[in-house]
Structure 1
Amino acid sequence: MLIQSAVDIAPYLQQWYEEDISVYVFDKEKALAAINHPKLNLGVYVGQPLEDLKSTMSYRTITTQQRLVGKVDLTKSQFGIPYVAISNPIYDQTDFVGGMTVVMSTEAFDTLLTTGEEILAAVEQISAAAGSLADAGEELSANTQEMSKETESVQKEIIDVAKITGQMKSIAARSNILGINSSIEAARAGEVGRGFAVVAEEIRKLADTSKESAVSIEENIKKVQESVGMLVDTFANLAAVSEEQAAGISELSSALDQIRHLAENLVQNGRKEMSI
Protein backbone atom coordinates (compact mmCIF):
# COMPACT_ATOMS: atom_id res chain seq x y z
CA MET A 1 0.00 0.00 0.00
CA LEU A 2 1.11 3.54 -0.70
CA ILE A 3 0.64 4.65 2.90
CA GLN A 4 3.03 1.91 4.05
CA SER A 5 5.59 3.29 1.60
CA ALA A 6 5.17 6.68 3.26
CA VAL A 7 5.79 5.09 6.68
CA ASP A 8 8.92 3.37 5.34
CA ILE A 9 10.35 6.55 3.80
CA ALA A 10 9.56 8.87 6.71
CA PRO A 11 12.80 8.18 8.70
CA TYR A 12 14.91 9.12 5.69
CA LEU A 13 13.29 12.48 5.11
CA GLN A 14 15.22 14.06 7.99
CA GLN A 15 18.44 13.27 6.14
CA TRP A 16 17.21 14.90 2.94
CA TYR A 17 16.31 18.25 4.50
CA GLU A 18 18.95 20.79 5.50
CA GLU A 19 16.61 22.16 8.16
CA ASP A 20 15.62 20.39 11.37
CA ILE A 21 12.34 18.63 10.64
CA SER A 22 9.91 16.18 12.18
CA VAL A 23 7.85 13.81 10.02
CA TYR A 24 4.45 12.26 10.77
CA VAL A 25 2.30 9.81 8.80
CA PHE A 26 -1.38 9.26 9.59
CA ASP A 27 -4.15 7.06 8.34
CA LYS A 28 -7.71 8.19 8.81
CA GLU A 29 -7.68 7.42 12.53
CA LYS A 30 -4.20 7.48 14.09
CA ALA A 31 -0.47 8.19 13.71
CA LEU A 32 1.38 5.44 11.82
CA ALA A 33 4.83 7.05 12.00
CA ALA A 34 6.23 9.76 14.27
CA ILE A 35 9.81 10.87 13.57
CA ASN A 36 10.34 13.60 16.16
CA HIS A 37 13.48 15.69 15.80
CA PRO A 38 15.13 16.46 19.18
CA LYS A 39 14.95 20.21 18.49
CA LEU A 40 11.41 20.04 17.14
CA ASN A 41 9.60 17.41 19.19
CA LEU A 42 5.84 17.83 19.03
CA GLY A 43 5.29 14.81 21.27
CA VAL A 44 3.32 12.92 18.64
CA TYR A 45 3.68 9.12 18.97
CA VAL A 46 2.82 6.08 16.90
CA GLY A 47 -0.75 4.99 17.52
CA GLN A 48 -1.86 8.38 18.84
CA PRO A 49 -5.51 8.99 17.83
CA LEU A 50 -6.22 11.87 15.50
CA GLU A 51 -8.89 12.99 17.96
CA ASP A 52 -6.03 14.06 20.25
CA LEU A 53 -4.64 16.31 17.48
CA LYS A 54 -7.67 18.36 16.48
CA SER A 55 -5.73 21.64 16.60
CA THR A 56 -3.09 20.45 14.14
CA MET A 57 -2.58 20.83 10.41
CA SER A 58 -2.47 17.04 10.13
CA TYR A 59 -5.99 16.70 11.51
CA ARG A 60 -7.27 19.29 9.05
CA THR A 61 -5.63 17.53 6.12
CA ILE A 62 -7.18 14.19 7.11
CA THR A 63 -10.62 15.73 7.56
CA THR A 64 -10.54 17.95 4.45
CA GLN A 65 -8.36 15.71 2.25
CA GLN A 66 -6.48 18.83 1.11
CA ARG A 67 -2.85 19.91 1.06
CA LEU A 68 -2.28 22.57 3.72
CA VAL A 69 0.68 24.77 4.55
CA GLY A 70 0.77 27.07 7.53
CA LYS A 71 2.84 28.76 10.19
CA VAL A 72 1.67 28.00 13.69
CA ASP A 73 2.78 30.56 16.22
CA LEU A 74 3.30 29.90 19.88
CA THR A 75 -0.13 31.13 20.94
CA LYS A 76 -1.90 28.65 18.61
CA SER A 77 0.37 25.65 19.06
CA GLN A 78 -0.93 22.85 21.28
CA PHE A 79 2.65 21.61 21.63
CA GLY A 80 4.13 24.74 23.21
CA ILE A 81 6.51 25.53 20.34
CA PRO A 82 6.03 27.49 17.09
CA TYR A 83 6.48 25.65 13.80
CA VAL A 84 5.73 25.56 10.10
CA ALA A 85 3.71 22.55 8.92
CA ILE A 86 3.32 21.15 5.39
CA SER A 87 0.63 18.48 5.33
CA ASN A 88 -0.16 16.45 2.20
CA PRO A 89 -3.01 13.97 1.64
CA ILE A 90 -2.09 10.44 0.50
CA TYR A 91 -4.14 8.71 -2.17
CA ASP A 92 -3.82 5.08 -3.14
CA GLN A 93 -4.87 5.51 -6.73
CA THR A 94 -8.22 7.26 -6.20
CA ASP A 95 -8.78 6.20 -2.59
CA PHE A 96 -7.85 8.65 0.17
CA VAL A 97 -5.91 6.65 2.80
CA GLY A 98 -4.21 9.21 5.03
CA GLY A 99 -1.65 11.99 5.10
CA MET A 100 1.98 12.94 5.73
CA THR A 101 3.05 16.05 7.60
CA VAL A 102 6.51 17.63 7.60
CA VAL A 103 7.11 20.05 10.45
CA MET A 104 10.04 22.48 10.43
CA SER A 105 11.32 25.22 12.68
CA THR A 106 10.08 28.77 12.22
CA GLU A 107 13.61 30.10 12.71
CA ALA A 108 14.51 30.07 9.01
CA PHE A 109 11.04 31.36 8.15
CA ASP A 110 11.27 34.17 10.70
CA THR A 111 14.77 35.02 9.50
CA LEU A 112 13.49 35.26 5.94
CA LEU A 113 10.60 37.44 7.06
CA THR A 114 12.90 39.71 9.08
CA THR A 115 15.27 39.96 6.14
CA GLY A 116 12.36 40.83 3.87
CA GLU A 117 11.24 43.56 6.26
CA GLU A 118 14.78 44.95 6.45
CA ILE A 119 15.09 44.88 2.66
CA LEU A 120 11.73 46.61 2.33
CA ALA A 121 12.73 49.34 4.79
CA ALA A 122 16.09 49.85 3.09
CA VAL A 123 14.57 49.92 -0.39
CA GLU A 124 11.93 52.41 0.72
CA GLN A 125 14.66 54.71 2.06
CA ILE A 126 16.76 54.32 -1.09
CA SER A 127 13.68 54.76 -3.26
CA ALA A 128 12.79 57.99 -1.46
CA ALA A 129 16.37 59.25 -1.84
CA ALA A 130 16.39 58.24 -5.51
CA GLY A 131 13.10 60.08 -6.02
CA SER A 132 14.56 63.25 -4.52
CA LEU A 133 17.71 62.79 -6.58
CA ALA A 134 15.62 62.30 -9.72
CA ASP A 135 13.73 65.53 -9.01
CA ALA A 136 17.01 67.35 -8.41
CA GLY A 137 18.47 65.86 -11.59
CA GLU A 138 15.49 66.97 -13.65
CA GLU A 139 15.69 70.46 -12.13
CA LEU A 140 19.43 70.60 -12.83
CA SER A 141 18.83 69.47 -16.40
CA ALA A 142 16.17 72.15 -16.89
CA ASN A 143 18.38 74.87 -15.35
CA THR A 144 21.35 73.78 -17.43
CA GLN A 145 19.31 73.91 -20.61
CA GLU A 146 18.10 77.39 -19.69
CA MET A 147 21.65 78.55 -18.98
CA SER A 148 22.77 77.04 -22.28
CA LYS A 149 20.10 79.09 -24.08
CA GLU A 150 21.18 82.25 -22.22
CA THR A 151 24.85 81.78 -23.15
CA GLU A 152 23.87 81.20 -26.77
CA SER A 153 21.94 84.47 -26.62
CA VAL A 154 25.00 86.24 -25.18
CA GLN A 155 27.10 84.76 -27.96
CA LYS A 156 24.76 86.24 -30.57
CA GLU A 157 24.89 89.64 -28.86
CA ILE A 158 28.70 89.54 -28.88
CA ILE A 159 28.59 88.90 -32.62
CA ASP A 160 26.39 91.99 -32.98
CA VAL A 161 28.90 94.02 -30.94
CA ALA A 162 31.70 92.72 -33.15
CA LYS A 163 29.79 94.09 -36.14
CA ILE A 164 29.67 97.52 -34.46
CA THR A 165 33.46 97.54 -34.00
CA GLY A 166 33.76 96.85 -37.71
CA GLN A 167 31.60 99.88 -38.37
CA MET A 168 33.78 101.92 -35.98
CA LYS A 169 36.89 100.94 -37.94
CA SER A 170 35.15 101.89 -41.17
CA ILE A 171 34.15 105.28 -39.77
CA ALA A 172 37.69 105.83 -38.44
CA ALA A 173 39.11 105.06 -41.87
CA ARG A 174 36.74 107.48 -43.56
CA SER A 175 37.45 110.13 -40.90
CA ASN A 176 41.17 109.70 -41.49
CA ILE A 177 40.68 110.20 -45.21
CA LEU A 178 38.53 113.23 -44.49
CA GLY A 179 41.26 114.65 -42.24
CA ILE A 180 43.91 114.12 -44.92
CA ASN A 181 41.75 115.77 -47.54
CA SER A 182 41.04 118.67 -45.18
CA SER A 183 44.76 119.14 -44.51
CA ILE A 184 45.43 119.26 -48.24
CA GLU A 185 42.73 121.85 -48.78
CA ALA A 186 43.98 123.89 -45.80
CA ALA A 187 47.49 123.91 -47.26
CA ARG A 188 46.14 125.17 -50.54
CA ALA A 189 44.29 127.96 -48.75
CA GLY A 190 47.53 129.14 -47.16
CA GLU A 191 47.32 131.52 -44.23
CA VAL A 192 43.55 131.65 -44.45
CA GLY A 193 43.24 127.92 -44.05
CA ARG A 194 45.57 127.58 -41.03
CA GLY A 195 42.70 127.27 -38.54
CA PHE A 196 41.03 124.71 -40.74
CA ALA A 197 44.31 122.76 -40.82
CA VAL A 198 44.22 122.47 -37.02
CA VAL A 199 40.70 121.06 -37.19
CA ALA A 200 41.79 118.62 -39.90
CA GLU A 201 44.70 117.42 -37.74
CA GLU A 202 42.38 116.82 -34.79
CA ILE A 203 40.07 114.87 -37.06
CA ARG A 204 43.00 112.66 -38.10
CA LYS A 205 44.03 112.13 -34.48
CA LEU A 206 40.46 111.26 -33.54
CA ALA A 207 40.32 108.82 -36.46
CA ASP A 208 43.57 107.15 -35.35
CA THR A 209 42.34 106.96 -31.75
CA SER A 210 39.00 105.53 -32.88
CA LYS A 211 40.80 102.95 -35.02
CA GLU A 212 43.07 101.90 -32.13
CA SER A 213 40.06 101.67 -29.79
CA ALA A 214 38.12 99.63 -32.31
CA VAL A 215 41.05 97.25 -32.77
CA SER A 216 41.46 96.91 -29.00
CA ILE A 217 37.71 96.33 -28.53
CA GLU A 218 37.74 93.81 -31.38
CA GLU A 219 40.57 91.86 -29.76
CA ASN A 220 38.78 91.85 -26.40
CA ILE A 221 35.54 90.79 -28.06
CA LYS A 222 37.32 87.87 -29.73
CA LYS A 223 38.63 86.72 -26.37
CA VAL A 224 35.21 87.06 -24.79
CA GLN A 225 33.66 85.30 -27.77
CA GLU A 226 36.07 82.40 -27.41
CA SER A 227 35.31 82.16 -23.69
CA VAL A 228 31.57 82.31 -24.26
CA GLY A 229 31.90 79.72 -27.02
CA MET A 230 33.65 77.38 -24.60
CA LEU A 231 30.97 78.14 -22.04
CA VAL A 232 28.24 77.32 -24.57
CA ASP A 233 29.89 73.99 -25.36
CA THR A 234 30.32 73.25 -21.66
CA PHE A 235 26.68 73.96 -20.88
CA ALA A 236 25.57 71.91 -23.88
CA ASN A 237 27.64 68.94 -22.66
CA LEU A 238 26.43 69.46 -19.11
CA ALA A 239 22.83 69.56 -20.31
CA ALA A 240 23.32 66.28 -22.18
CA VAL A 241 24.96 64.65 -19.14
CA SER A 242 22.22 65.98 -16.87
CA GLU A 243 19.54 64.51 -19.14
CA GLU A 244 21.32 61.13 -19.15
CA GLN A 245 21.67 61.22 -15.38
CA ALA A 246 18.02 62.15 -14.94
CA ALA A 247 17.02 59.27 -17.23
CA GLY A 248 19.34 56.87 -15.37
CA ILE A 249 17.97 57.93 -11.99
CA SER A 250 14.44 57.49 -13.32
CA GLU A 251 15.30 53.94 -14.39
CA LEU A 252 16.86 53.32 -10.97
CA SER A 253 13.69 54.55 -9.28
CA SER A 254 11.64 52.21 -11.46
CA ALA A 255 13.90 49.27 -10.58
CA LEU A 256 13.71 50.13 -6.89
CA ASP A 257 9.92 50.24 -7.13
CA GLN A 258 9.96 46.71 -8.53
CA ILE A 259 12.29 45.53 -5.75
CA ARG A 260 10.09 47.23 -3.18
CA HIS A 261 7.04 45.52 -4.66
CA LEU A 262 8.76 42.13 -4.45
CA ALA A 263 9.86 42.81 -0.88
CA GLU A 264 6.33 43.85 0.04
CA ASN A 265 4.98 40.61 -1.42
CA LEU A 266 7.59 38.62 0.50
CA VAL A 267 6.70 40.30 3.77
CA GLN A 268 2.94 40.13 3.19
CA ASN A 269 3.07 36.47 2.27
CA GLY A 270 5.32 35.78 5.22
CA ARG A 271 2.91 37.45 7.62
CA LYS A 272 -0.03 35.37 6.47
CA GLU A 273 -0.84 32.49 8.76
CA MET A 274 -3.26 29.73 8.03
CA SER A 275 -5.57 29.13 10.94
CA ILE A 276 -5.36 25.69 12.52
Structure 2
Amino acid sequence: MRMSKKLQEIINNVKTIQKSFTEPTSILITDTEQILVQVKAEFDTTNIPVGTLLNTLPNPLLEDSLKTGRVNRLEFGPDNEFGLPFIVTWNPIIDNRKVVGLIITTTSTEKVDFLRSTANNLLKTMGEMTEMTEQLAKVSDVISVNIQNISSDSESIIKMVEDAYQVIKSVQGVANQSKILGLNAAIEAARAGEYGKGFSVVANEIRRMADQSKDSAVNIIRYLEKVNEAVGKNNTSIQEIAAMAEEHSATLEDFRGSFDRIGQAAEGFLKSTQLS
Protein backbone atom coordinates (compact mmCIF):
# COMPACT_ATOMS: atom_id res chain seq x y z
CA MET A 1 0.00 0.00 0.00
CA ARG A 2 1.40 3.32 -1.05
CA MET A 3 1.98 5.79 1.82
CA SER A 4 0.13 9.10 1.85
CA LYS A 5 2.26 12.04 0.73
CA LYS A 6 1.17 14.11 3.74
CA LEU A 7 2.00 11.26 6.10
CA GLN A 8 5.43 10.93 4.52
CA GLU A 9 6.09 14.67 4.93
CA ILE A 10 5.18 14.50 8.61
CA ILE A 11 7.53 11.55 9.10
CA ASN A 12 10.32 13.45 7.36
CA ASN A 13 9.81 16.44 9.68
CA VAL A 14 9.11 14.62 12.94
CA LYS A 15 12.28 16.00 14.62
CA THR A 16 11.25 19.55 13.74
CA ILE A 17 7.76 18.86 15.06
CA GLN A 18 9.21 17.62 18.36
CA LYS A 19 11.33 20.78 18.72
CA SER A 20 8.24 22.96 18.25
CA PHE A 21 6.90 21.88 21.66
CA THR A 22 7.91 24.09 24.58
CA GLU A 23 7.82 21.12 26.99
CA PRO A 24 9.46 17.68 26.64
CA THR A 25 7.36 15.64 24.20
CA SER A 26 7.46 12.11 22.80
CA ILE A 27 5.97 11.55 19.34
CA LEU A 28 4.52 8.48 17.66
CA ILE A 29 3.58 8.59 13.98
CA THR A 30 1.17 5.90 12.78
CA ASP A 31 -0.76 4.96 9.71
CA THR A 32 -4.16 3.34 10.20
CA GLU A 33 -2.65 0.01 11.25
CA GLN A 34 0.72 0.34 12.95
CA ILE A 35 3.35 2.61 14.49
CA LEU A 36 5.71 3.98 11.84
CA VAL A 37 7.98 6.31 13.81
CA GLN A 38 8.85 6.77 17.48
CA VAL A 39 10.77 9.80 18.79
CA LYS A 40 11.11 9.71 22.58
CA ALA A 41 11.64 12.47 25.14
CA GLU A 42 13.98 11.93 28.09
CA PHE A 43 11.18 11.31 30.58
CA ASP A 44 9.58 8.61 28.37
CA THR A 45 10.46 5.14 29.67
CA THR A 46 7.90 3.27 27.56
CA ASN A 47 8.98 0.88 24.83
CA ILE A 48 6.54 0.81 21.90
CA PRO A 49 8.68 -0.22 18.96
CA VAL A 50 8.08 0.68 15.35
CA GLY A 51 5.80 -1.88 13.72
CA THR A 52 3.56 -2.32 16.78
CA LEU A 53 0.03 -2.90 15.56
CA LEU A 54 -2.54 -0.39 16.79
CA ASN A 55 -5.07 -3.12 17.52
CA THR A 56 -2.64 -4.39 20.18
CA LEU A 57 -2.91 -1.00 21.88
CA PRO A 58 -6.64 -0.86 22.60
CA ASN A 59 -7.63 2.70 23.45
CA PRO A 60 -11.09 4.18 22.82
CA LEU A 61 -9.69 7.66 22.15
CA LEU A 62 -7.18 6.31 19.62
CA GLU A 63 -9.94 4.39 17.89
CA ASP A 64 -12.23 7.44 17.94
CA SER A 65 -9.59 9.65 16.30
CA LEU A 66 -8.99 7.08 13.56
CA LYS A 67 -12.71 6.65 12.87
CA THR A 68 -13.99 10.21 13.21
CA GLY A 69 -10.95 12.42 12.59
CA ARG A 70 -11.47 14.16 15.93
CA VAL A 71 -8.58 15.38 18.07
CA ASN A 72 -8.64 13.70 21.49
CA ARG A 73 -6.69 14.60 24.60
CA LEU A 74 -6.26 12.91 27.95
CA GLU A 75 -4.44 14.33 30.95
CA PHE A 76 -2.65 12.13 33.51
CA GLY A 77 -1.59 13.10 37.02
CA PRO A 78 1.86 12.44 38.50
CA ASP A 79 0.79 9.05 39.86
CA ASN A 80 1.74 7.00 36.78
CA GLU A 81 4.62 4.94 35.41
CA PHE A 82 6.53 8.08 34.37
CA GLY A 83 6.26 9.61 37.84
CA LEU A 84 5.23 12.97 36.42
CA PRO A 85 2.09 14.49 34.89
CA PHE A 86 1.60 14.50 31.14
CA ILE A 87 -0.95 14.95 28.34
CA VAL A 88 -1.48 12.49 25.50
CA THR A 89 -2.94 13.91 22.27
CA TRP A 90 -4.24 11.86 19.37
CA ASN A 91 -4.13 14.18 16.35
CA PRO A 92 -5.49 12.64 13.11
CA ILE A 93 -3.55 13.08 9.86
CA ILE A 94 -6.14 13.78 7.16
CA ASP A 95 -5.33 13.55 3.45
CA ASN A 96 -8.02 13.91 0.79
CA ARG A 97 -10.66 13.94 3.54
CA LYS A 98 -9.52 10.55 4.81
CA VAL A 99 -7.72 9.73 8.06
CA VAL A 100 -4.40 8.22 6.95
CA GLY A 101 -2.73 8.09 10.33
CA LEU A 102 -2.15 9.72 13.70
CA ILE A 103 0.37 11.96 15.42
CA ILE A 104 0.34 10.77 19.01
CA THR A 105 2.15 13.18 21.33
CA THR A 106 2.94 12.65 24.99
CA THR A 107 3.86 16.01 26.54
CA SER A 108 5.17 16.53 30.06
CA THR A 109 3.03 18.94 32.09
CA GLU A 110 5.31 18.99 35.11
CA LYS A 111 5.77 22.77 34.94
CA VAL A 112 2.08 23.37 34.34
CA ASP A 113 1.21 21.07 37.23
CA PHE A 114 3.62 22.97 39.47
CA LEU A 115 2.06 26.27 38.41
CA ARG A 116 -1.42 24.89 39.06
CA SER A 117 -0.36 23.77 42.51
CA THR A 118 1.16 27.20 43.15
CA ALA A 119 -2.04 28.91 41.96
CA ASN A 120 -4.16 26.68 44.21
CA ASN A 121 -1.94 27.42 47.19
CA LEU A 122 -2.08 31.11 46.34
CA LEU A 123 -5.88 31.00 46.19
CA LYS A 124 -5.99 29.25 49.54
CA THR A 125 -3.65 31.81 51.08
CA MET A 126 -5.66 34.66 49.56
CA GLY A 127 -8.81 33.19 51.10
CA GLU A 128 -7.19 32.98 54.53
CA MET A 129 -5.77 36.51 54.28
CA THR A 130 -9.10 37.89 53.09
CA GLU A 131 -10.82 36.25 56.07
CA MET A 132 -8.22 37.79 58.39
CA THR A 133 -8.69 41.26 56.91
CA GLU A 134 -12.46 40.90 57.28
CA GLN A 135 -12.02 39.99 60.94
CA LEU A 136 -9.63 42.92 61.44
CA ALA A 137 -12.09 45.23 59.70
CA LYS A 138 -14.86 44.07 62.06
CA VAL A 139 -12.61 44.59 65.10
CA SER A 140 -11.65 48.03 63.75
CA ASP A 141 -15.34 48.92 63.39
CA VAL A 142 -16.07 47.81 66.96
CA ILE A 143 -13.10 49.83 68.25
CA SER A 144 -14.26 52.87 66.31
CA VAL A 145 -17.77 52.61 67.77
CA ASN A 146 -16.40 52.17 71.31
CA ILE A 147 -14.09 55.14 70.87
CA GLN A 148 -17.00 57.26 69.69
CA ASN A 149 -18.97 56.16 72.77
CA ILE A 150 -16.05 57.06 75.03
CA SER A 151 -15.72 60.40 73.25
CA SER A 152 -19.42 61.02 73.82
CA ASP A 153 -19.02 60.09 77.50
CA SER A 154 -16.06 62.47 77.78
CA GLU A 155 -18.15 65.29 76.34
CA SER A 156 -20.85 64.48 78.90
CA ILE A 157 -18.25 64.63 81.68
CA ILE A 158 -17.05 68.00 80.42
CA LYS A 159 -20.66 69.24 80.51
CA MET A 160 -21.08 67.96 84.07
CA VAL A 161 -17.83 69.69 85.08
CA GLU A 162 -19.13 72.94 83.61
CA ASP A 163 -22.37 72.49 85.57
CA ALA A 164 -20.30 71.86 88.71
CA TYR A 165 -18.49 75.16 88.06
CA GLN A 166 -21.80 76.98 88.19
CA VAL A 167 -22.76 75.24 91.45
CA ILE A 168 -19.39 76.07 93.05
CA LYS A 169 -19.65 79.67 91.91
CA SER A 170 -23.04 79.80 93.58
CA VAL A 171 -21.43 78.41 96.75
CA GLN A 172 -18.76 81.10 96.48
CA GLY A 173 -21.48 83.70 96.22
CA VAL A 174 -23.22 82.32 99.30
CA ALA A 175 -19.89 82.28 101.13
CA ASN A 176 -19.23 85.90 100.25
CA GLN A 177 -22.72 86.90 101.34
CA SER A 178 -22.28 84.91 104.58
CA LYS A 179 -18.99 86.71 105.28
CA ILE A 180 -20.62 90.08 104.75
CA LEU A 181 -23.47 89.00 106.97
CA GLY A 182 -20.98 87.91 109.63
CA LEU A 183 -19.17 91.26 109.46
CA ASN A 184 -22.44 93.16 109.79
CA ALA A 185 -23.43 90.93 112.70
CA ALA A 186 -20.10 91.55 114.40
CA ILE A 187 -20.55 95.31 113.98
CA GLU A 188 -24.04 95.17 115.46
CA ALA A 189 -22.80 92.98 118.32
CA ALA A 190 -20.09 95.54 119.11
CA ARG A 191 -22.71 98.28 119.21
CA ALA A 192 -24.83 96.20 121.54
CA GLY A 193 -21.96 95.98 124.01
CA GLU A 194 -22.31 93.43 126.78
CA TYR A 195 -25.64 92.25 125.42
CA GLY A 196 -24.16 91.46 122.04
CA LYS A 197 -21.30 89.17 123.15
CA GLY A 198 -23.15 85.94 122.30
CA PHE A 199 -24.24 87.33 118.98
CA SER A 200 -20.61 88.33 118.32
CA VAL A 201 -19.49 84.70 118.79
CA VAL A 202 -22.08 83.54 116.27
CA ALA A 203 -21.06 86.28 113.84
CA ASN A 204 -17.41 85.27 114.08
CA GLU A 205 -18.35 81.61 113.50
CA ILE A 206 -20.38 82.62 110.44
CA ARG A 207 -17.41 84.55 109.10
CA ARG A 208 -15.08 81.60 109.76
CA MET A 209 -17.43 79.17 108.01
CA ALA A 210 -17.79 81.57 105.10
CA ASP A 211 -14.02 81.75 104.73
CA GLN A 212 -13.76 77.95 104.83
CA SER A 213 -16.56 77.61 102.28
CA LYS A 214 -14.85 80.11 100.00
CA ASP A 215 -11.47 78.31 100.32
CA SER A 216 -13.13 74.94 99.66
CA ALA A 217 -14.93 76.36 96.64
CA VAL A 218 -11.64 77.71 95.27
CA ASN A 219 -9.94 74.34 95.81
CA ILE A 220 -12.83 72.51 94.13
CA ILE A 221 -12.73 74.89 91.16
CA ARG A 222 -8.99 74.30 90.76
CA TYR A 223 -9.58 70.54 90.90
CA LEU A 224 -12.41 70.78 88.38
CA GLU A 225 -10.17 72.84 86.09
CA LYS A 226 -7.56 70.06 86.20
CA VAL A 227 -10.26 67.44 85.57
CA ASN A 228 -11.64 69.49 82.69
CA GLU A 229 -8.16 69.90 81.20
CA ALA A 230 -7.41 66.17 81.54
CA VAL A 231 -10.75 65.19 80.01
CA GLY A 232 -10.20 67.66 77.19
CA LYS A 233 -6.78 66.18 76.41
CA ASN A 234 -8.25 62.69 76.65
CA ASN A 235 -11.05 63.65 74.29
CA THR A 236 -8.54 65.07 71.80
CA SER A 237 -6.56 61.82 71.95
CA ILE A 238 -9.74 59.80 71.49
CA GLN A 239 -10.68 61.84 68.42
CA GLU A 240 -7.21 61.25 66.95
CA ILE A 241 -7.48 57.51 67.66
CA ALA A 242 -10.96 57.44 66.12
CA ALA A 243 -9.63 59.12 62.98
CA MET A 244 -6.77 56.61 62.84
CA ALA A 245 -9.22 53.73 63.31
CA GLU A 246 -11.35 54.97 60.42
CA GLU A 247 -8.26 55.35 58.24
CA HIS A 248 -7.10 51.86 59.28
CA SER A 249 -10.51 50.45 58.35
CA ALA A 250 -10.32 52.11 54.92
CA THR A 251 -6.81 50.71 54.43
CA LEU A 252 -8.07 47.24 55.27
CA GLU A 253 -10.77 47.61 52.64
CA ASP A 254 -8.13 48.55 50.05
CA PHE A 255 -5.98 45.66 51.26
CA ARG A 256 -8.88 43.24 50.89
CA GLY A 257 -9.57 44.59 47.41
CA SER A 258 -5.96 43.87 46.46
CA PHE A 259 -6.31 40.32 47.73
CA ASP A 260 -9.47 39.90 45.67
CA ARG A 261 -7.67 41.06 42.54
CA ILE A 262 -4.75 38.69 43.20
CA GLY A 263 -7.22 35.86 43.81
CA GLN A 264 -9.01 36.61 40.54
CA ALA A 265 -5.68 36.61 38.69
CA ALA A 266 -4.80 33.25 40.26
CA GLU A 267 -8.18 31.82 39.26
CA GLY A 268 -7.69 33.09 35.72
CA PHE A 269 -4.26 31.53 35.55
CA LEU A 270 -5.59 28.25 36.93
CA LYS A 271 -8.31 28.17 34.25
CA SER A 272 -5.76 28.89 31.53
CA THR A 273 -3.82 25.74 32.46
CA GLN A 274 -6.86 23.48 32.16
CA LEU A 275 -7.47 21.38 29.07
CA SER A 276 -10.18 22.74 26.82
TM-score (ref. length: structure 2): 0.74
Match of 1:158 in 2: 161
- Secondary structure of 2:38's match? strand
- Residue of structure 1 aligned with 2:69, choices 47, 65, 70: 65
- Which deviates more from structure 2 when the two are superposed, residues 130-139 or residues 257-266? 257-266
Letter in 2 for 1:35: V
Aligned equivalents of 1:232, 1:139: Cα separation in 2: 18
Match of 2:211 in 1: 208
Residues 70, 109 of structure 1: alpha-carbon distance in 2 compared, 3 angstrom cutoff: farther
Letter in 2 for 1:12: T
Aligned equivalents of 2:52, 2:83: Cα separation in 1: 18
Aligned equivalents of 2:167, 2:205: Cα separation in 1: 23
Residues 234, 74 of structure 1: alpha-carbon distance in 2 compared, 3 angstrom cutoff: closer
Aligned equivalents of 1:38, 1:153: Cα separation in 2: 81
Letter in 2 for 1:34: Q
Match of 1:115 in 2: 118
Residues 181, 4 of structure 1: alpha-carbon distance in 2 compared, 3 angstrom cutoff: farther
Residue deviations 1:71-102, cap 9 Å, x none? 1358898x99852134556677x957666454
- By how many angstroms is 1:214 displaced? 1.4
Which of the pair has the greater relative contact order for Cα pairs under 8 Å at 6+ separation?
Answer: 1
Q: Is the 8 A contact 1:141 1:246 kept in 2?
A: no
Residues 51, 199 of structure 1: alpha-carbon distance in 2 compared, 3 angstrom cutoff: same
RMSD over aligned Cα, in angstroms? 4.0
Match of 2:239 in 1: 236
- By how many angstroms is 1:228 displaced? 0.8
Does structure 1 residue 34 correspond to structure 2 residue 38? yes
Residues 74, 210 of structure 1: alpha-carbon distance in 2 compared, 3 angstrom cutoff: closer
- By how many angstroms is 1:151 displaced? 1.8
Match of 1:126 in 2: 129
Q: Is the 8 A contact 2:69 2:94 kept in 1?
A: no
Residue deviations 1:201-244, cap 9 Å, x none? 22222222222111111111111111111111222222222233
Residues 273, 185 of structure 1: alpha-carbon distance in 2 compared, 3 angstrom cutoff: same
TM-score (ref. length: structure 1): 0.74
Match of 2:147 in 1: 144
Q: Is the 8 A contact 1:85 1:103 kept in 2?
A: yes
Work out the number of aligned pairs and report it: 271
- By how many angstroms is 1:128 displaced? 3.8
